[in-house]
């Protein structure tokens, strides 16, 4: 039986990350090839993110890695949504890497985690994106269907 | 979750041959993370599996590694890498076994010794294993050199390797002119020097000097004679400009290719695209699959991402497609403005009809005289009309009572049933309709609701 290529690729990634993950990234669960949970921490002493752990939810479509995965932060009692001008308070992340345009099939779960880590590390603004409240209230779309306008090249 | 046997480059970590992790990583495709399968090199000199890079390019036309623009037609096979990968894959298990079985001291040194082995070929006579390793790798190198040299003279020379098996899928390719089978890198030289120039399976490449290989070659020839069907290299399929193609033309093309023409236009395009990807990638392969196997691959695609994919992911795909790339929402809206307006007008018209029917029904129920007030042909009339209807419904529940006897009379006419449904639930529907009416689009959807409903 031929395995769909998304599952095949994810199988390899899983094998790799269960062996070794970069510091500050932890695999929480990967029960199937549709949804994985990972925890990330910011390692340097950026005061905004100190002593906090954030939960990331990856959802993979059948065309992964040709299409990007859907990546959001999830809120749990001990897992807040990080403050960042490109992270909405419902966990949706505005990052071109995760959009159709910026995504490349050579990216993987590990590299996405590391990009998000560095996105947080490099941030000095303790704030939400403009229009956060409206967006969070009104949005019923899946992250991949939202048309983001990527304007900030400093992330 | 299915369990897979997933060998990975990290398998080398913790073995004495940890350095092979990098080697193995270099042999793996960045897209599928598997060993390169028919590696192809891009214009920007990056290498991917044929199927991986073809899929990527068909989606966004960019190299996954450096985002440089590229085209499928510019891909070229990276045959040296293919051979290297094949060789590594073949010996991987052995090396892994060697690396994981606990052996005596010298093992960890063997990989490092490679660099110095030329200088000290025979110094370590005492130590059995490394010496073997040295000798065999050295011997191989020499042999390879010799083989190369001999091949300069005679192409068939390689045939006398002991494990040579003249099977059609042994990794050899056929000369496009005389159909003689040989290693792929030999073809050019063969065509230049020794090709007889016409399809003659017996006359394999060089009927020249070599007796030794000639004798070993005897049985092989008979196999070559019956023209091996898969040897004829399949031709690559051209990409189609779907936007220039009418439905019927696309269906015809797909029919010619033996593909299913079921499903929406979008599905047809995706299926055709996938088939081209599979087919062309197969053309790049050293061991092309048969058509039936490719069909099976397409079948798998159909089940996971095509027409029979789980609905959720299909919807997601559709969404992704519409949002894809350069979709210009504003231009789309202006372009189709008239048809949108048309739809709205139609929707309003049918709403009016429904309201009229309802009014008539009410009238009939109250006084027995059907009323035709001719209102609401134009869109603007709809709102007050409906409002009125709703108010009538809300205020006069008794008036809607006589409907049941009324409805059988109107049964034959289409819109009636919806009209009845409308009044039957008058108070609720009326209220609901009041709010969305303030904006245009929901006027459309709310009036289509009762009509389109199967009731």
In a domain, residue B19? The reply is yes
Determine how many CB atoms are found less than 10 A away from the CB of residue B206. 20
Instruction: Check pLDDT > 50 for residue B58.
Output: yes
Q: Please give the pLDDT value at position B447.
A: 32
Dump strand ranges (E) for B352-427: none
C-alpha A40/C-alpha B342 separation (Å) is: 52
Instruction: Check pLDDT > 60 for residue B428.
Output: no
User: What residues are paired with A41 via a beta bridge?
Assistant: A53
Domain positions in chain A are 5-125
> A97 or B400: which carries more pLDDT confidence?
A97
In a domain, residue B380? The reply is yes
Minimum mean pLDDT range among B42-56, B57-71, B92-106, B387-401: B387-401
* B351 and B435 both lie in a single domain: yes
Q: Please give the pLDDT value at position B400.
A: 41
Domain boundary among B326, B355, B385: B326
Residues of A in contact with B317 (CB under 8 A): 61-63
What value does the mean pLDDT take over residues B120-144? Answer: 47
What value does the mean pLDDT take over residues A42-61? Answer: 91
Q: Domain A5-125 carries which CATH code?
A: 3.10.110.10
Count Cβ neighbours within 10 Å for each residue of B225-234 and write b for 16 or more, e otherwise.
eeebeebeee
Over residues B324-343, the pLDDT tens digits come to 555 667 777 888 888 888 89
Under 8 Å between Cβ of A57 and A84: no
Of A10, A42, A94, A95, the active-site residue reads A94
Partner-chain contact B34 A142, CB within 8 Å: no
The three-state DSSP-derived secondary structure of B127-156 is CHHHHHHHHHHHHHHHHHHHHHHHHHHCHH
With cut-offs at 50, 70 and 90, classify the pLDDT of residue B379: very low
What value does the mean pLDDT take over residues B111-117? Answer: 47
* B341 and B445 both lie in a single domain: yes
In a domain, residue B112? The reply is no
Asked if B69 is an interface residue toward chain A (Cβ–Cβ < 8 A), one would say no
In a domain, residue B165? The reply is yes
> B308 or B447: which carries more pLDDT confidence?
B308
Chain B, window 310-369: residues with a beta carbon less than 8 angstroms from a chain A beta carbon = 313, 316-317, 319-320, 323-325
Q: What domain range is B253 assigned to?
A: 242-326
Over residues B26-55, the pLDDT tens digits come to 999 999 999 999 999 999 999 999 999 999
Over residues B183-236, the pLDDT tens digits come to 777 777 777 777 777 665 444 444 444 444 444 444 444 444 444 444 566 788
> Residue B304 has which token pair?
């996971």
Domain boundary among B326, B345, B367: B326
* B339 and B278 both lie in a single domain: no
CATH number at residue B82: 3.30.40.10
With cut-offs at 50, 70 and 90, classify the pLDDT of residue B309: low
Instruction: Check pLDDT > 50 for residue B378.
Output: no
Nearest to B281 by CA among B37, B23, B15: B37
* B349 and B444 both lie in a single domain: yes
Which of B323, B324, B327 best tests the A interface by mutation, with the highest count of A CBs <10 A?
Answer: B323
Domain count of chain B?
Answer: 4
In a domain, residue B120? The reply is no
With cut-offs at 50, 70 and 90, classify the pLDDT of residue A131: confident
Q: Please give the pLDDT value at position B195.
A: 74
Instruction: Check pLDDT > 60 for residue A72.
Output: yes
**Chain A residues touching chain B at CB-CB below 8 Å:** 2-9, 11-16, 19-20, 31-33, 61-63, 65-67, 100-101, 104-106, 108, 142, 144-145, 147
Residues of B in contact with A101 (CB under 8 A): 325
Rounded (5°) CA angle A63-A64-A67: 75
Question: To 10 degrees, the CA torsion angle through B376, B378, B384, B385?
Answer: 20
Instruction: Check pLDDT > 50 for residue B131.
Output: no
Partner-chain contact A32 B1, CB within 8 Å: yes
Q: For residue A94, indicate whether it is catalytic.
A: yes
How many Å lie between the alpha carbon of B38 and the closest alpha carbon of chain A? Answer: 16
Which of A12, A96, A101, A144 best tests the B interface by mutation, with the highest count of B CBs <10 A?
Answer: A12
Dihedral sign computed on CA atoms, order B419, B425, B431, B435: negative
In a domain, residue B420? The reply is yes
Share of chain A above pLDDT 70, in %: 94
What's the N-to-C CA distance of chain A in angstroms?
A: 43
């Amino acid at each position: 039986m031929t395995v769909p290529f998304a599952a095949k690729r994810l199988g390899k990634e899983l094998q790799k990350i269960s062996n070794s993950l970069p510091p500050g990234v932890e695999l929480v669960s990967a029960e199937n090839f549709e949804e994985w949970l990972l925890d990330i921490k910011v390692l340097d002493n950026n005061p905004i993110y100190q002593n906090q752990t954030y939960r990331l939810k990856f959802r993979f479509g059948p065309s992964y890695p040709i299409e990007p995965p859907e990546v959001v932060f999830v809120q749990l009692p001990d897992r807040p949504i990080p403050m960042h001008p490109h992270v909405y308070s419902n966990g949706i992340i505005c990052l071109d890497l995760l959009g159709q345009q910026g995504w490349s099939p050579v990216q993987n779960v590990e590299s996405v985690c590391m990009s998000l880590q560095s996105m947080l590390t490099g941030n000095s603004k303790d704030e939400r994106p403009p229009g956060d409240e409206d967006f969070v209230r009104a949005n019923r779309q899946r992250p991949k269907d939202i048309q983001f306008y990527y304007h900030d090249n400093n992330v | 979750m299915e369990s897979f046997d997933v060998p990975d480059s990290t398998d080398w970590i913790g073995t004495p041959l940890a350095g092979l992790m990098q080697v193995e990583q270099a042999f793996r495709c960045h897209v599928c993370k598997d060993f390169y399968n028919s590696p192809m090199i891009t214009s920007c000199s990056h290498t991917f599996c044929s199927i991986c890079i073809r899929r990527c390019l068909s989606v966004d036309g960019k190299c996954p590694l450096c985002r440089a623009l590229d085209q499928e037609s510019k891909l070229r096979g990276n045959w040296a890498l293919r051979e290297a990968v094949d060789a590594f894959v073949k010996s991987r298990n052995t090396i892994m076994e060697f690396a994981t079985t606990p052996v005596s001291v010298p093992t960890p040194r063997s990989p490092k010794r490679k660099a110095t082995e030329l200088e000290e070929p025979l110094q370590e006579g005492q130590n059995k294993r490394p010496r073997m390793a040295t000798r065999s790798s050295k011997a191989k190198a020499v042999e390879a050199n010799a083989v190369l040299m001999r091949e300069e003279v005679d192409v068939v020379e390689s045939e006398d390797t002991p494990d040579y098996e003249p099977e059609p899928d042994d990794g050899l390719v056929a000369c496009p002119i005389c159909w003689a089978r040989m290693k792929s890198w030999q073809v050019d030289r063969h065509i230049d020097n020794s090709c007889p120039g016409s399809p003659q399976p017996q006359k394999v490449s060089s009927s020249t000097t070599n007796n030794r290989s000639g004798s070993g070659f005897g049985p092989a020839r008979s196999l070559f004679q019956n023209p091996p069907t898969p040897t004829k290299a399949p031709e690559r399929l051209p990409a189609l400009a779907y936007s220039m193609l009418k439905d019927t033309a696309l269906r015809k093309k797909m029919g010619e290719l033996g593909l299913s023409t079921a499903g929406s236009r979008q599905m047809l395009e995706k299926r055709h695209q996938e088939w081209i990807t599979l087919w062309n990638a197969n053309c790049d392969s050293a061991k092309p699959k048969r058509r039936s196997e490719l069909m099976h691959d397409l079948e798998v695609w159909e089940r996971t991402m095509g027409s029979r994919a789980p609905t959720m992911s299909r919807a997601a795909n559709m969404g992704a497609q519409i949002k894809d790339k350069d979709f210009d929402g504003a231009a789309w809206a202006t372009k189709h403005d008239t048809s949108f307006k048309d739809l709205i007008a139609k929707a309003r018209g049918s709403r009016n009809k429904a309201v009229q029917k309802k009014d008539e029904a009410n009238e009939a129920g109250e006084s027995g005289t059907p009323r035709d007030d001719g209102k609401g042909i134009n869109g603007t009339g709809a709102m007050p009309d409906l409002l009125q209807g709703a108010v009538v419904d809300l205020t006069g529940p008794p008036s809607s009572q006589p409907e049941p006897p009324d409805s059988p009379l109107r049964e034959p006419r289409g819109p009636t049933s919806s009209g009845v449904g409308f009044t039957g639930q008058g108070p609720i529907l009326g209220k609901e309709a009041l709010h969305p009416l303030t904006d245009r689009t929901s006027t459309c959807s709310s009036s289509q609701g009762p009509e389109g409903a199967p009731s």
